Structure 1
């Protein structure tokens, strides 16, 4: 079993254990269950990360090194825990009086002393709490001690059997699957308002490898609808965690919690202060503060934003939303195409050398009018379109919408734009009630290599110019540029006569059958009689 599969399996086991505790105390699928599991999960990782970093220092200085010296030598981005805040200590004192209060106080103190590293800011600058008082989610006060004991016992058992310390040196591109597993019970099939959807690992890797074909010294990377951060994680691994700074915005508190975990696990703790919980469209935190080298995004496609839509009509927004703002439909407000606002926001947020990759519904690349076409016109007229990859159907397990990825580059080559139709690639697999298309690593590599080397391959990719795209009414669909080929077969005169004879015989038989049907219809019509009740 590979390391990533082992890690995923063990993590799902821990999540299931915590879910079991919640269910036993009446919180199964309760609105607070997610907070409890995610925060206990975070405590587990802070505990293991601290152990891991201390052991590294002990290997350098010796096991008998002064504890205060060890703490002083820890990197500033490493969580700081006292001995009495460790899982092992709480396990040893679990039978003490008021254990629930001790448990809550411990987590609160860890959050306070590490707030500068791990807290997430809101749009107005307020920092969130790292931990809630988890015992308070149990309404029966007499059950709180037992509940907290059950949680700490699950963590202690897991620490004894398998620590995550061995995995802190790994690349966590696969961690997206764990997030999806953790909150799948909290999203309805339709997603709900600001629902989280997950970018498949294959798509995230393809985007990173196309955006960064060559080494980068330093980069500012941004996602305005970040979710759990799978796109940013892949991009950071490609660039190098020590060579990039992550910036993000998202309206979802759940996503912010998951992203914080992801940054800790991916050696990107230095970027946690740049994680902003806000409504990116209505209250963008970075709009006037920062421009970015790389932007990646899988924005929500459709969402009801009618409650703040009119505010976007103000002059202060017009430069950003140059192509317009979707109107509020009379019915189905949830169908408002909010992704069009995210595309315009991203274009506005790139620096002079910026590059971006945006997941969009495939319908966007061929729409004949409206905001969609205005955006495509701007990309071509400015010379910013590097190319488009249309992905296979059902590559997202949570939605059947066909998607494409638009690659923007402020320094793009307008004479060699890559349009690719990868819809025929991949293998269909079943995941629960859903079907999903999975790309092999070989297919991923083929897409990246074809795109980056600007290759024209029959039925897969074409290389076009800005002029050709304008002539096709600004269509970004590869299929509209594929050459139509007619195969010719040499035949003899006798073979030609034989084929013509067959056509004539077939046509004659059809005429006979047609006459028969005409006569039958006339016969039936003559038999129709008018009868009055």
Structure 2
């Protein structure tokens, strides 16, 4: 099945679940998002278990009726099955399967059976599949979804409707794919609930092209046993790209994000991408104020942090001695107006630099204004990147590469073992094609353009009007500017002409100037004439 078919089927499932919620009075209700995301999690766990069980048990794989074959297993056979599929895979019993609920949907008090099933799955899989907060408390994977229906007489029907929608198709065939396109589903699912319209803690989506470019530049060579981290992970698009590039079996994922929505979606993403072993490393927290991984160091860090955010509530706490090493360049002041304009991305950059291991590498999406700011915290950070010898290069992206924001962005690449004589600065702003994306304009890069950016950067090539390769000393001489445009050569084209052609051009210039002067004099005289004619009334 192609990516587009999968995306379309998944969007159809989302629409169907929204329709169920609407039919039972929960359309645009505050609980609708919880219901849909939790039902999705149940669906993914169910299909992942079926997929893995069939891989290790030929009887289940060949059975015409998987549910019946699973129920026919003895206790010992079932226990052996769970050992074979491994602890990182959802552990579901026959009575936990969607098919079981579907087959028993006409029994009395079906809503209780539905809620009890999800509760049992949650309890038996909490060790791997629950998300922790900064306090160490684990989330409850599933609420009692039927209880969101205030009319008790409708609860059985509501749960039946949900199960019937889940029964219609399976994700099983998708588990062999690389889910770089999961962000499309996340965006489609969450867009109706992102009511802040870009305000406090609203979620954004990193375009797949940007995520792929970051991953392929960051990790061009094979590695193993590395730790990858995103301090503002969202749904995990950047983490998935770097994990696919490195190999899921070669890395462990760590993440922090303040949004419960995003953390829940990241959990789904890890289930889909054979990274369930990293779910315990997803932390819901305020990374800047209450970092869980403050004492950890990471080999690869990717981040598209929020650019502007009001963090005045905890700014003063960040000035304590405990944070001074982390925020070496300073903390933005609280403006008298528009507190939401506080440049929190500057805090994330410093946090990322603090969190790199001795061999660490990072790729950070930043507003392009950061790379040329003449003073302030921005310049102090750039200066530190250069003086420490960590800057590998910068790629300035086309405008509107993000549909959700018109801010021009650049990606800064750090490497603690960077080549300071060959720093690549790239201006890719002229690449891409503008397309309509809902009410917004978005710039889309072709695959060839993606590869051009990646290969030019990794090969350290200077390409006319695209990239320059400069040294640490040259950047210092340019006041630590990371803008490729400031290093491009200014080319003046010379055209050979004869003495006669030169004289003719000069005569033409003189004639044109004489005409302009004459017209100017005539205008002056007319103005003076009009002024003399003015009278006081």
How far apart in 2 are the matches of 1:27 and 1:148?
A: 13
- Name the residue aligned to 1:96: 107
- Name the residue aligned to 2:442: 436
How far did 1:466 drift?
Answer: 0.9
How far apart in 1 are the matches of 2:203 and 2:90?
A: 28
- Report matched runs for 1:301-316 at 5 Å: 301-316=307-322
- Name the residue aligned to 2:57: 58
TM-score, with normalisation over the residues of structure 1?
Answer: 0.96
| Unaligned residue ranges in structure 2 (runs of 5+) | 64-68
- Name the residue aligned to 2:135: 124
How far did 1:100 drift?
Answer: 1.4
How far apart in 2 are the matches of 1:205 and 1:524?
A: 69
- Name the residue aligned to 1:234: 241
Correspondence 1:351 to 2:357: yes
- Name the residue aligned to 2:492: 486
Correspondence 1:25 to 2:24: yes
How far did 1:140 drift?
Answer: 2.0
- Name the residue aligned to 1:256: 263
**Among candidates 59, 68, 74, match of residue 85 of structure 2:** 74
Q: Which range moved further: 182-191 or 409-418?
A: 182-191
| Unaligned residue ranges in structure 1 (runs of 5+) | none
Correspondence 1:507 to 2:506: no
Cα 1:60–1:450, aligned 2, differ >3 Å: closer, same or farther? farther
How far did 1:526 drift?
Answer: 2.4
Q: Is the 2:196–2:202 Cα contact (8 Å) retained in structure 1?
A: no
**Among candidates 193, 202, 205, match of residue 198 of structure 1:** 205
How far did 1:530 drift?
Answer: 3.2
Q: Which whole-Å deviations, capped at 9, do the CAs of 1:434-469 have from their partners, x for residues lacking one? A: 000000110000000000010000100001111111
What secondary structure does 2:176 align onto? coil
- Name the residue aligned to 1:274: 281
Q: Is the 2:432–2:443 Cα contact (8 Å) retained in structure 1?
A: yes
What secondary structure does 1:404 align onto? strand
Q: Which whole-Å deviations, capped at 9, do the CAs of 1:453-509 have from their partners, x for residues lacking one? A: 100001000011111111111000000000000000000111111111111111111
Correspondence 1:105 to 2:112: no
How far did 1:58 drift?
Answer: 2.1
How far did 1:192 drift?
Answer: 2.1
What secondary structure does 1:168 align onto? helix
What secondary structure does 1:355 align onto? strand
Aligned pair count reads 525
Q: Which range moved further: 406-415 or 80-89?
A: 80-89
How far did 1:510 drift?
Answer: 1.0
What secondary structure does 1:97 align onto? coil
How far apart in 2 are the matches of 1:263 and 1:432?
A: 29
What secondary structure does 1:394 align onto? coil
Q: Which whole-Å deviations, capped at 9, do the CAs of 1:73-109 have from their partners, x for residues lacking one? A: 2211111111111111111222222211211111111
- Name the residue aligned to 2:66: none
How far apart in 1 are the matches of 2:43 and 2:362?
A: 35
How far apart in 2 are the matches of 1:71 and 1:411?
A: 44
What secondary structure does 2:143 align onto? coil
- Report matched runs for 1:34-433 at 5 Å: 34-59=33-58, 66-156=77-167, 158-159=168-169, 163-188=170-195, 190-288=197-295, 290-433=296-439
How far apart in 2 are the matches of 1:486 and 1:188?
A: 52
What secondary structure does 1:296 align onto? strand
How far did 1:529 drift?
Answer: 3.2
How far apart in 1 are the matches of 2:173 and 2:501?
A: 73
Q: Which whole-Å deviations, capped at 9, do the CAs of 1:295-331 have from their partners, x for residues lacking one? A: 0000000000111111111111111000000011011
How far did 1:70 drift?
Answer: 2.2
How far apart in 2 are the matches of 1:459 and 1:303?
A: 35
Q: Which whole-Å deviations, capped at 9, do the CAs of 1:91-139 have from their partners, x for residues lacking one? A: 1222222211211111111111000110011101000011111112122
How far apart in 2 are the matches of 1:151 and 1:466?
A: 60
What secondary structure does 2:299 align onto? strand
RMSD of the alignment, in Å?
Answer: 1.3
How far apart in 2 are the matches of 1:210 and 1:186?
A: 34
Q: Which range moved further: 33-42 or 59-68?
A: 59-68
